[in-house]
Amino acid sequence: MDTNDILDIQDNSGLNVNSLTQNHLYQIAKWGKIISIIIFVYIGLMILYMFVGMSTFMALFMGGLSDSMDPSMDAGFGAFGVFFMILFGGMLLFGLYLNYLLYKFSTTLKMALDDQNSSLLTESFSNLKNLFKIYGIILIIVVAIYIIAFLGTISTILLR
């Protein structure tokens, strides 16, 4: 195989992907797939923990403490447990989607390199673009929360 003819997109855009670059892309695909499989296992364990841990939490607070607490508190602990479970489940599903994008990028990239298919390569980098876009949005939200917290702390100190 000629190193100048690795991908068919080089004629249209002048992009030249030589064998060293192709090797790097194979390594990226391999490590991305390994990382995503480990994260899939981790998310599965966290889902199991969510159900086991929350049922243990509910049994502890609903059964063990209800004798010494006000009976009206039982509903509060139940609502808190359900709220926490829904919040934790939503975060896990969001993480599962992000990990799916990484897995899809890795597997599609490997197929594109094996088949020398530029449309598969475009699809794989589209998945990577979406992953980075979501990470960027999350980063902007977190930085905004930190700025608001910092400004709130400063204003509290200055208003004393």
- Write the pLDDT tens digit of every residue in 121-151: 999 999 999 999 999 999 999 999 999 999 9
Asked whether the beta carbons of 33 and 99 are under 8 A apart, the reply is no
CA dist 143 and 141 (Å) reads 6
Q: Please check whether residue 5 lies inside any domain of the structure.
A: no
Q: 30: domain range?
A: 12-158
Name the token pair of 132.
């980075």
Reported as a single tens digit per residue, the pLDDT across 67-116 is: 555 555 555 666 777 788 888 889 999 999 999 999 999 999 999 999 98
Q: How many domains does the chain have?
A: 1
Q: Which long-range contacts (CB under 8 A, 24 or more apart) does 89-94 make?
A: 89/47, 89/50, 92/43, 92/46, 92/47, 92/50
Q: Please check whether residue 19 lies inside any domain of the structure.
A: yes
pTM flag (> 0.85): no
CA dist 126 and 97 (Å) reads 15
Q: Token match 């995503």: residue?
A: 36
Q: Please check whether residue 143 lies inside any domain of the structure.
A: yes
Q: Please check whether residue 2 lies inside any domain of the structure.
A: no
Q: Please check whether residue 92 lies inside any domain of the structure.
A: yes
Confidence at residue 33, expressed as pLDDT on a 0 to 100 scale: 96
Name the token pair of 157.
């100190």
CA dist 150 and 145 (Å) reads 8
Confidence at residue 54, expressed as pLDDT on a 0 to 100 scale: 75
Q: Token match 């589209």: residue?
A: 126
